[in-house]
């Protein structure tokens, strides 16, 4: 059998967590870079706290099949703007624009990681499907034909 539903969901949750951790690390760098470029707080602490919030929301929403990233994105944009406005002591609108720009970078990275994820899943499916098909022809006995 190729992948059972439980195997597939477990694999998707695992990859979702890995992707969110990668986004967390890259997000810290992007957030700090954008804050420095805007003349905001250049410390690591606000960038880490903001991205930690995004990480938690992303992992929790990763358990929602098929739409988890979209739900996480909506929460991260609008609630993240509130968190950013508190961390950087800026108005909500200014923080929302800041968050949208950071998330444009993160979405591009997410798309790249998602493509890699699809390639890995297809390779796993082809690998497990190919092994099952190759083994089926030899299970009954001799493979030579008398003629």
Helices and strands of the chain, counted as H and E runs: 4, 0
Is 85 a residue whose pLDDT tops 70?
A: yes
Q: At what angle do helices 68-88 and 44-61 cross, to 10 degrees?
A: 160
Cα-to-chain-centroid distance, residue 96? 21
Mean confidence (pLDDT) of the chain: 83
Q: Give percent of the chain above pLDDT 90.
A: 47
pLDDT digit string (tens) for 110-141?
899 889 888 887 888 888 765 554 545 455 55
Can you give the pLDDT at residue 5? 63
Q: How far apart (Å, rounded) are the C-alpha atoms in residues 29 and 43?
A: 11
Q: How far apart (Å, rounded) are the C-alpha atoms in residues 92 and 56?
A: 21
Quickly state the pLDDT bin for 105 (edges 50, 70, 90).
very high
pLDDT digit string (tens) for 41-81?
889 999 999 999 999 998 888 788 778 888 988 999 999 99
**What is the pTM for the complete model shown?**
0.73
Domain residue spans in the chain? 51-115
**How many other C-beta atoms are found inside a 10 Å radius of the C-beta of residue 115?**
10
Can you give the pLDDT at residue 36? 94
Can you give the pLDDT at residue 78? 94
Which of residues 19 and 5 earns the better pLDDT score?
19
């Amino acid at each position: 059998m190729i992948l059972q539903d439980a195997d597939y969901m477990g694999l998707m949750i695992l990859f979702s967590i890995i992707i969110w951790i990668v986004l967390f690390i890259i997000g810290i760098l992007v957030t700090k870079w954008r804050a420095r470029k805007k003349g905001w707080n250049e410390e690591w602490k606000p960038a880490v706290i903001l991205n930690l919030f995004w990480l938690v929301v992303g992992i929790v929403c990763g358990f929602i099949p098929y739409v988890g990233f979209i739900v996480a994105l909506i929460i991260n944009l609008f609630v993240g703007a509130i968190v950013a406005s508190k961390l950087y002591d800026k108005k909500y609108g200014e923080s929302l624009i800041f968050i949208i720009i950071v998330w444009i970078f993160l979405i591009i990275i997410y798309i790249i990681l998602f493509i890699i994820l699809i390639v890995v899943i297809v390779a796993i499916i082809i690998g497990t499907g190919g092994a099952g098909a190759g083994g089926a022809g030899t299970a009954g006995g001799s493979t030579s034909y008398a003629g």
